[in-house]
Structure 1
Amino acid sequence: MTYIKGAFVFVFALFQSCWGYGQLLNESWKGHINVQQTQLPLIFHLKQNQGRWSGTLVSPAQSSGHIALDDVWVEGDSIRLTVRKLGLSFTGRRTKEATIEGVFSQGALRSTLILDRFIEKKRLRPQTPEPPYSYDTINVQFKNKFDETRLAGTISKPKGRGVFPAVVLVTGSGPQDRDETIEGHKPFKVIADYLTKRDIVVLRYDERGVGQSDGNYTLATIGDFSKDAMAAVEFLRKRKEVDASRVGIVGHSEGGLIALLIAGQSSVKVDFIGLLAAPTIPIDSLMLLQAYEIGRASGMSRAELNRAKVINRRNFTTVKSNLNDQQAYEQILDNMSSIFPEPSQHQRNEFKMLVLPSYRYFMRIDPVPFIQKIRIPVFAAFGTRDVQVPFAPNSESLTDNLPEGTAKELKVYTGLNHLFQHAQSGSVNEYAELEETFDTDVLEDLGRWIHTLN
């Protein structure tokens, strides 16, 4: 995922019952939920087979490709969808031939959701590897020993005998599959393919609660995801094809933050880390910059940007504070009162998302003290058009805070966005339109650098 964690909700649902107007549902449907004044698109792909419905949901602006979902109640024109382990539901009614109107809810969030019939544009993803591969792939499972969560992934390894350097790929925020699928792109599959062809073993895995991995994503914190990554490193190091003295983590976005935290704490033996658009400044400062840059790229005026910045700063300070959740929520209501003097229930529910324990945990993270303790080699890549992890402050923080004598290669790539695509504005809306999945210069530099390590 590529998104730094915010108060966004990721949703999943499955139509598996017959509807009175079922023949009209055997296709794709698209709608948007409103989260913190941002429209989050959702696409349902539905099909009927021998009277039974099945389908997938895609949150294209967020992550995780096509997700198979569960539970449907249907009566006449009405429908109710639930996903038990994520605590979400959608209740709707078909109001027109090509429209379903209803309400989506998850936890404290409630949002109107109108689904319209949708014909998905066929997009090219020429970098996505297709079998047969020139290397071996093995589906594996391993456990996080801290809470016994079983995780599933894929190892890709060079053919033939011998031992090779190895990396664990750690995804960004949001419920990510092992390929870090977003907008039809599969960046981790592209990275794994490139590195494996250059004699590097790669393990990539589904995050907890996603794909074939166990666990509950919505209840997890970055601490849980860090322990999952540690388990992956320990599992990979024991493989017979792996050089146990050259095992590292390559993390994208929040995955890079996780790599920094693990390396700074020496939580598990890691021989090197690769950081791809990793946050290296306090997270509340990062989120303030991110909101500003995303707003700027979307066309907000300078006055609107500055006004939003002031309110966001107040909200993030409140989220980080020692106020209890109810006190923090009331303070956020006061912070927002100049814009929403009488907030609707939907808006109140959105504000409550800011005081979720996992979000408050995340917002309190400051990676700088961890960076200052890193003693292993570091590779870091940033793009100049990244609006989610702006390159200047984050690259500077690494330069300023990595201990003197630490082996490092820090690179900034002109014109690349948060996904390391060549972009015009860097806006998140460009991700789907660009055919490129991942810049080959970054891949070449990363692969070469790993092989320089002894």
Structure 2
Amino acid sequence: MARACVLLWLPALGAQAQDVMGVGTWTIWGTRVTFVQDGAVPGDNAVTAAARDDRAGEPWASAASMALPLALKAGERVSATFWARAARPETVPVMINGGAPSYAVLASRTVDLTPDWRRITLSGVAPTDLAAGTQFLTLHLGRAPADVLLGPVLFRPGEPDDADMQATFAGFRPAQRVQDVRIPSDPGVVLAGRLRLPGRHGGGPFPVVILLSGSGPGKRGVFPLVEDRLLAEGIATLDYDKRGVGESTGTFLDTLGLMERDAAAAVAYLRTRQDIDGGQVAFLGLSQGAYVGPAVAARDPAIAAVVMLAGPAGEKGTLFIDDMREKLAKAGIAGDANDRVVAALQALYAARIAEAPPSVVDPARQALIDGCVAGGWSLAQAQAVVAELDTPVVLSMYLAAPNEALAMIRVPVLALYAGQDTVISTPRTLPQARAALRNNPDATVMELPGLNHGFQHVDTGQPGPLEPAMSAPEALDLVARWLDTHLHPAVPGPAAQGTVIPRRAQ
């Protein structure tokens, strides 16, 4: 069974007590997680934590948790009420507890779950003043013999009030409805996607943004802040595990061509849904995703809009070679040695493109190794680097022609580059993007200073699990307003009113 850790972002700390927390706020780890529609629970949405194959371990090997958004005074009582059921009857421990290292327990009990939904309340008293977000409602599921489904949660200060809880849950409308979907792509490839629909903007059909991450074995959940902001504006979102990654089937091979086919399959799938406006499908991509989205849009004029974050731009071959020259120089291979290595690399790729036999490829590969050694690298270092370069994935990057795609796009484009990007060269790439989009009347190309490749503030350090992409407020706000304006052209959302975004930054 595939395992996953779903790290979902906390609600705003200090949220009003009357707010019911939707199922997207649960954090579940140690098992497979699936979001489903279920009309028998308030909000019509549930999240499933699958039973583990190995149930002989500790109870906390798998768990579901949600942070209390309330600040508590010493001696103050708090109640947590949640909905839950199980595929068959079982008993699980539930508690309100603090975080590491002590995990101090404020309240605990065991609860009996059945196949029918139950409303369960746990109550305890704060032993001292406790800040919002420091206590957690937690269910230990490591030994649960069957799948457990969880619904919304209500936190209240004071004693639980049954009539109050009934009325509050009866009126609950979630901010988003989350559904796991399966997207057919190439034969043998089914993408595991997560579709989020706005919960407080009617029944649709909704505009939608497909979220595409960078290179590597990407999974869902890269853009949680973007998702929350777009859903608040009435825009649905879709992201998915790359083929062969997470719960998606097929073999993981990160070539640009395959990633484009999967993105096009996601578009085709969305256009089959009645709750999605098939004429209002947009892309938002970071790095590799900022190449894939425009490439699909260039072939599909019905795409509504494209957002590129640190997107590659340049002519076929030139983009890759210019970047390679720069990286070689930083690694100590400069001047004539740099020219020799680049020429050898181009010869190797020419042989691969021509599907030449080993009698041609092997000498070309050896010439590249020899060039790296002559430039000052050790033999082991040269062999390791050439092994990385001589792959279908890197060859697809060499063959990429982003400017050809950008020049073909006539739908709105927002291309953002980060001033402190160490992955994509903003000084070299931004002018290329601007030139390729010069005939697009609704293209905005601009640099955001002080941000890194993930559009985070550089002084926050390297991207990490608690530092999502697009965490810089100015980047998030700009992208959200731009998408709201272009996907709701007749009736701009509140975030877009009174704000003018330039058609092209000069």
Q: TM-score, normalised by structure 2?
A: 0.55
Do residues 239 (structure 1) and 263 (structure 2) align? no
Question: 2:55 and 2:335 mapped to 1: Cα distance?
Answer: 53
Conserved 8 A contact 1:170-1:250: yes
The question of 1:210 aligning with 2:249 is answered no
Partner of 1:445: 478
**CA distance in 2: counterparts of 1:199 and 1:341, whole angstroms:** 54
| Residues 436 and 179 of structure 1, relative CA distance in 2, 3 Å threshold | closer
Give the Å deviation of 1:387.
1.2
Equivalent position to 2:193, from 153, 166, 170: 153
In 2, Cα distance between the equivalents of 1:452 and 1:217? 36
User: What is the 5 A alignment of 1:421-440?
Assistant: 421-424=456-459, 430-432=462-464, 435=467, 437=469, 438-440=471-473
Kept after mapping to 1: 8 A contact 2:338/2:375: no
**Alpha-carbon shift at residue 440 of structure 1 (Å):** 2.0
Query: Who is 2:390 aligned against?
Result: 355
CA distance in 1, matches of 2:56, 2:204: 50
Counterpart residue number, 2:175 = 134
Shift of 1:312: 5.6
Name the aligned partner's letter for residue 321 of structure 1.
A
Question: Residues 180-208 of structure 1: CA distance to partner in whole angstroms, max 9, x if unpaired?
Answer: 3xxxxxxx222212211211110010000
The residue type paired with residue 184 of structure 2 is: K
> 1:151, CA displacement in angstroms?
0.5
C-alpha deviation, 1:450, in angstroms = 1.8
- Correspondent of 1:393 among 418, 428, 435: 428
SS in 2 for 1:228: helix
State the alpha-carbon separation in 2 of the partners of residues 173 and 319 from structure 1: 23
User: 1:331 maps to what in 2?
Assistant: 367
Structure 2 gap ranges (5+): 4-53, 62-132, 135-151, 154-173, 490-506
Query: Comparing 282-291 with 403-412, which one deviates more in the overlay?
Result: 282-291
My pick for the range that moved more, 305-314 or 373-382, is 305-314
SS at match of 2:261: helix
Kept after mapping to 1: 8 A contact 2:372/2:382? no
Residue 462 of structure 2 aligns with an amino acid whose one-letter code is E
In terms of Rg, which structure is larger? 2
Partner of residue 407, structure 2: 372
Q: Structure 1's 402 and 316: CA in aligned 2 closer, same or farther, altered over 3 A?
A: farther
TM-score, normalised by the number of residues in structure 1: 0.61
Q: How far apart, CA to CA, are the structure 2 residues paired with 1:164 and 1:321?
A: 46
Task: Kindly provide the amino acid, as one letter, of the partner of residue 194 in structure 1.
Answer: R
SS in 2 for 1:208: coil
**Partner of 1:71 in structure 2?**
none
Amino acid paired to 1:375: R
1:215-262 per-residue CA deviation (whole Å, 9 max, x = no partner) reads 1113x5211110100011111223222222211111110111011211
> Offset of 1:414 from its aligned partner?
0.7
**Residue 226 in 1 paired to residue 255 in 2?**
no
- Find the aligned partners of 1:217 and 1:366 in 2 and give their Cα distance: 23
The residue type equivalent to 2:373 in the other structure is S
State the SS of the aligned residue for 1:430.
coil
Identity, % of aligned positions: 25
CA distance in 2, matches of 1:440, 1:362: 31
Q: CA RMSD in A?
A: 3.6
CA distance in 2, matches of 1:193, 1:407: 26
Checking the alignment, whether the CA contact within 8 Å between 2:306 and 2:411 is kept in structure 1 is: yes
**Residues 399-414 of structure 1 aligned to structure 2 (within 5 Å):** 399-414=434-449
CA separation of 1:288 and 1:418: change in aligned 2, threshold 3 A? farther
Question: 1:319·1:363 contact (CA, 8 Å) conserved in 2?
Answer: no
Q: Does the 8 A contact of 1:248 with 1:271 survive in 2? A: yes
Deviates further, 281-290 or 330-339: 281-290
1:167 equivalent among 203, 209, 216? 209
Code of the aligned partner of 1:258: V
The question of whether the paired residues in 1 share the 8 Å contact of 2:213 and 2:285 is answered with yes
Greater relative CO, 1 or 2 (CA 8 Å, sep 6+): 1
